[in-house]
Amino acid sequence: MTIVYDAKLTSGDKILNLSSLLPKISDNEYIVTSTTDTGAYELVSVFIKQPENPFELEELRETLNKYASFVSIEDGSGLITELNSFINGKQFT
């Protein structure tokens, strides 16, 4: 599971993490769920089918950690824990 967003800041600047991520994962199977766009932000969850190949999984994890605010990699436990989760690219502790 990944949480990623685009945001329009009051300064007029934009954070385009979602727009930047989607082309990078275009070769993967994924679904996207989102909140209603408020005009200021849209919070989006991206669920990506994990590759079975460990090298492809590591490449995907690196890509997600570059663009997403939160990433959780399925490790067989069925849980989101500090061992399989990252916030802003850093392992959750």
Distance CA(39)–CA(67), nearest Å, equals 21
- Model confidence at 41: pLDDT above 70: no
Locate 85 and state its tokens. Answer: 């989760």
Query: pTM for this one?
Result: 0.81
Distance CA(22)–CA(6), nearest Å, equals 11
Q: Can you tell me whether residue 44 is helix, strand or coil?
A: strand
- Model confidence at 29: pLDDT above 90: yes
- Model confidence at 60: pLDDT above 90: yes
Q: Hey, which residues does 71 pair with through a beta bridge?
A: 2, 86
